[in-house]
Structure formats: structure tokens, C-alpha cells
Amino acid sequence: MNIIIQKFGGTSVATKELREKVARKVIQTKEEGKSPVVVVSAMGRSGDPYATDTLINLANHVFPEHSSRELDMMMACGEIISAVIMANTIKFMGYDAVALAGFQAGIITDDHYGDAEVIRVDGENILSLIKKGKIPVVAGFQGITVSGDITTLGRGGSDTTAALLGEALHADVVEIYTDVDGVMTADPRLVPEAKVIDTICYDEIYQMAEDGAKVVHPRAVEIARRGNITLKIKNTFSDAPGTTINGQMGFRNKSYRSMAGDDLITAIAHKNNITQVTVYFEDSVEANELLMNELTIHHISIDLINFFADRKIFTIDEKYTDLLEQILAKHHYQYQCIRGCSKITAIGHKIRGVPGVMARIVKALSHQGIKILQTSDSHTTISCLVRGEDMERAVNALHREFQLS
């Protein structure tokens, strides 16, 4: 059936003019003989009338003691409104479109409100609409429990919806439309010389998403990898070819790289608002278990983990710092917290163990007078923790060092 999933974010559908631009892209896909399935986010961003954050703020203001179930019902409204408006925009331009809420698109979830896990996707309703020549426009970010309660899929949920529908409908490709020309070698707001990457593998884009790049949600990448679905990151506002994401490793257009061995690194990502935590205690099973159990009970995720005999060093999201300090004080741990840190990550397929990569990173940062607080590495990443005020200089230094421009 040559199905193409086309997901458009909130900024892409925020105004009448933009929605008409989106409709023309969808119609062009239809006229090329393909079967588009559109997924939309809520219109606009925080402060806009129907944006998700606006609805959350309304709920918190009107009924601050709301349950998570009712909040999910409220949040789901934004995408439903967007789907209805977008479907009618396409209709106005001469093509039959049908708006679908998440449950009408067959997305069945558990009852973990606010961050539900999808149990299954029944694509029969969408397939029947496609067979009738209609264009389904699906509200992203949402589903329904077996018992009939509306749920939401967590931040980045519309990307997740698009990937899930791509898998369930055996789509040829899932296109994620945003406001940049594709996945870039670094955040262009920090690095003006950043370039678009034409092809990237699942592992690399997943690490980029996990380590701060906001172009696609990591859960969507996981689903695409599971279903071996090609993702494309494209710009709503241009005809740029974008970035293709698939399972092919090792092939990338090197037009933006030096050919002299500087193609190890694909991109530099960054994540802000991190706290480094050092807890001092002699290594013991009881002390380790107590600390880990407290972190688990309070749903505090840790990263950049370095455990030594006399101290444990790790990072957390800065928003959990006060809570963690209360826990550590309660159990009389000696500790130190450094707030306002940033994690800078160099990403490249299988760079671990390649001689000289870490040395180049250390040299590039030290030449800028940037102190490295902590490091970690994997097969595809080398991460450095730095103070927040050094973040922009660190990103630019590594981007230059590996000649990503």
C-alpha cells in the first residue's frame, strides 16, 4: 500500500498558514501515489491556547488536586483539537481526511497515566480508511487502556505514536517533520558551523536523543530499530532532503568531514541542568544497597556512574537535587553536590578503544581552560561533565577538534 507516516510537531501546525503548508506536503505525498498517515502534536508551545503545557497549567490552576487519570484526559485534548483542525484543512484543499483520536487509531496502553506503555496497536481502522482513499490524521501522544481510559505516552509521545503506527502498518518510512533541515552535527544555536548529517544509524541517533538532541525522541528510535523502519527527519518549512536513519552502520556521506581519519565522531550533543553527586562511605554491601534502594524508591535515575571503595560519584537531573539531599541527610551520609553542570557527549559508532580519541577530547577542552569533572564512555559515546558556564565553549571546542564542519 506504500504507506508513509508523516508526523508534524506543534510548531509546524501552530498557525493557519503553517497548517496549509503541512497540508500541501501531505497532498503532494498522496499525489505521488503513496498513502500518507498523518500524526500531529498539539498546536504551538506553552502559552498558546491548546498547547500541552498550557492545558497542564490550566489543570493545575483550576483543580490542583487532580488525579493523573483526569490530567491525561485534559492533556489529550490538545492533540485531538490539532487532528480535527488539520484534517479539515486537508479537506478544504480538496482531499478527504479523517481525524482520529489515539484510541480510534487502535493504540492500546497500560494504565500508567502520564507515561503509558503501549501494549499493542490495532491498525485495522486506519487500513480501512486508506483503502477508501482517505487520509487518516491521528492525534499523537495518546492511547486508551483496555478498560477504556484515555492515557498519554509521555514527552515525545507523538514521535512514539508515529513510530508505532509505522511498525503496525508496515510503513515504507516514518517522516518526522521539525523546524530544522535534519539531524545536525551539533545544536546550531550554539555552533553556527553545524552541518546536516545525511545518514545516521539507529545507535548513534538514539545516543544523540538520550544525550540532549531534541530532534527525535529516543523511544521512537527504539521502536524504529525494533521494526527495522527507516526514519527521516525533515524540515516542514523547506524541501531539504533531511536525515535518513536506518540500521546501516559505517556508510555516511563524508562531505562535511575531513578524509584524514576524522570521521570517527558523528556529532556533539549536550544536556544541561545536571547535578554531580559524590557520596562518601566505605565500601559495604549494606551501605550500597541502602543508597540504591532509596534511589529506586524515589524514582531518581542516575548517570555517569563511578563507584570507588571510599566514594560513589554519579549525576542526576538537577530537579531531584533537593530530594536527594534530604535522603542523604536522613541517613547521615557525607556528600557533596555540584549543581548547574552540563554533559557533553561525542557520538560515533564503535569509538570505544580507538587510540587517541579521549586524548583529543581532553586536549581540546583543556586548551579552552575547561575543567572536566567526570567522564564515561560506551561503544558509541564519550561523555564529559563540565560546569554549565563552560558548556557552549566545550561543544564548540569538540566540534572543531573533530572537524565536523
Whether residue 198 contacts residue 232, with contact meaning beta carbons closer than 8 Å, is answered with no
Q: Which of 131, 159, 178 is where one domain is finished?
A: 178
- Range of 305's domain? 267-401
Looking at residue 248, its pLDDT comes to 64
Q: What is the pTM of this model?
A: 0.87
Tens digits of residue pLDDT in 193-212: 999 999 999 999 999 988 98
Shared domain for 173 and 280, answered yes or no, is no
36 within a domain of the structure (yes/no): yes
> What cell was used for 119?
501494549
According to the annotation, is 149 in a ligand binding site? no
| Number of other CB atoms surrounding residue 366 within 10 Å | 12
Shared domain for 51 and 174, answered yes or no, is yes
Shared domain for 16 and 125, answered yes or no, is yes
When divided into structural domains, the chain yields a total of: 2
pLDDT above 70 as % of the chain: 96
Average pLDDT over residues 213-239: 92
Range of weakest confidence among 57-61, 109-113, 322-326, 371-375? 57-61
- On the 0-12 / 13-18 / 19+ scale of CB atoms within 10 A, 307 is exposed
Shared domain for 173 and 278, answered yes or no, is no
According to the annotation, is 124 in a ligand binding site? no
Contact partners, residue 15, CB within 8 Å, separation at least 6: none
386 within a domain of the structure (yes/no): yes
18 within a domain of the structure (yes/no): yes
44 within a domain of the structure (yes/no): yes
Closest CA to 233 of 198, 266, 268: 198
Tens digits of residue pLDDT in 256-273: 333 334 578 999 999 999
Shared domain for 22 and 167, answered yes or no, is yes
According to the annotation, is 275 in a ligand binding site? no
According to the annotation, is 381 in a ligand binding site? no
Range of weakest confidence among 248-252, 369-373, 376-380, 388-392? 248-252
According to the annotation, is 395 in a ligand binding site? no
Tens digits of residue pLDDT in 119-131: 999 999 999 999 9
Cα–Cα distance between 263 and 396 in angstroms, integer? 17
Shared domain for 142 and 279, answered yes or no, is no
Q: Which of 127, 158, 178 is where one domain is finished?
A: 178
Categorize the per-residue pLDDT at 253 as very low, low, confident or very high, splitting at 50, 70 and 90. Answer: very low
According to the annotation, is 52 in a ligand binding site? yes
Query: Which element (helix H / strand E) includes 271?
Result: strand 267-280
According to the annotation, is 189 in a ligand binding site? yes
Shared domain for 10 and 159, answered yes or no, is yes
According to the annotation, is 19 in a ligand binding site? no
Higher pLDDT, 226 or 256: 226
pLDDT above 90 as % of the chain: 80
Q: Which of 178, 204, 237 is where one domain is finished?
A: 178
With a cut of 60, say whether residue 176 has pLDDT above it.
yes
Quote the mean pLDDT of the chain: 92
Looking at residue 382, its pLDDT comes to 94
Cα–Cα distance between 44 and 322 in angstroms, integer? 32
Range of weakest confidence among 142-156, 214-228, 248-262? 248-262
40 within a domain of the structure (yes/no): yes
According to the annotation, is 7 in a ligand binding site? yes
319 within a domain of the structure (yes/no): yes
Tens digits of residue pLDDT in 272-287: 999 999 999 887 788 8
Whether residue 30 contacts residue 135, with contact meaning beta carbons closer than 8 Å, is answered with yes
Tens digits of residue pLDDT in 388-401: 999 999 999 999 99
Report the CATH number at residue 291. 3.30.2130.10
336 within a domain of the structure (yes/no): yes
Report the CATH number at residue 144. 3.40.1160.10
According to the annotation, is 215 in a ligand binding site? yes
210 within a domain of the structure (yes/no): no
According to the annotation, is 214 in a ligand binding site? yes
Shared domain for 174 and 271, answered yes or no, is no
